[in-house]
Copies of this chain bind each other. A is one copy, B any other.
């Protein structure tokens, strides 16, 4: 098996952090996304959407989409559980993973892609007004998250999960997207610092 990897980009990194938390090692095939390598071979023939990450199994089967790759490894090696346990636990992790992705990661990515000059070839057309409109959306969600984190350690409860991985990487991504984490959000700040202190954050 091999994992076509995209370096610093958020989605490839989600899988690497997940694997680090699981203690799983997969051979990486680095792809230079800065040179738009994900739109060329060896990625393009494996993923018709021409995006990373891409996991290729030994029989040639391909799995794309960061969360789908994570689920594959969760099924192969359930411990430590990062997608929740039991019907309710799995549902709550999925709920928070989606909240983090759709209400934080996505707005941050939109702000970055529609405003940053380096994204001109990635996002056609860039619509700066839409990029700007996303910044308050991200902040609004962080305010909701701050209240939620007042009485628990992690996004989906007392256990670390994929929702925290998505959240940490989204907050990391706020820096190049030029969105400031409001200082008064003490619970988010504490949560984020704890995630950044885990060894997996370096993956």
A22 within 8 A of B: no
A76 at interface, CB cutoff 8 A: yes
Contact mask for chain A residues 131-172; partner B; CB cutoff 8 A; 1 contact, 0 none: 001000000010010011000000000000000000000000
CB distance from A18 to the nearest CB of B (A): 13
| A contact face: mostly helix, strand, loop, or mixed | helix
Residues of A within 8 A of B (CB): 48-49, 57, 61, 63-65, 67-69, 71-72, 75-76, 86-88, 90-92, 94-95, 98-99, 103, 125, 127, 129-130, 133, 141, 144, 147-148
A75 to B71, Cβ gap below 8 A?
no
A65 vs B130: C-alpha distance in the bound complex, in angstroms?
A: 24
Q: How far is the CA of A129 from the CA of B127 in the complex (A)?
A: 7
Residues from chain B with Cβ under 8 Å of A130 in the complex = 127, 129-130
Q: Is the CB of B88 within 8 A of A144?
A: no
For A125, what are the chain B residues with a Cβ–Cβ distance below 8 Å?
129, 133
Q: How many copies does the complex hold?
A: 2
Residues from chain B with Cβ under 8 Å of A90 in the complex = 71-72, 75
Q: Give, as a whole number of angstroms, the nearest-CB distance from A127 to chain B.
A: 5
- A67 & B94 in contact (Cβ 8 Å cutoff): yes
Give 5 closest A-B pairs by Cβ, nearest first. A75-B87, A72-B91, A68-B95, A68-B94, A130-B130
Contacts A71-B90, A75-B86 aside, 6 further interface pairs with beta carbons under 8 A come to A49-B144, A65-B94, A68-B94, A68-B95, A71-B94, A72-B90
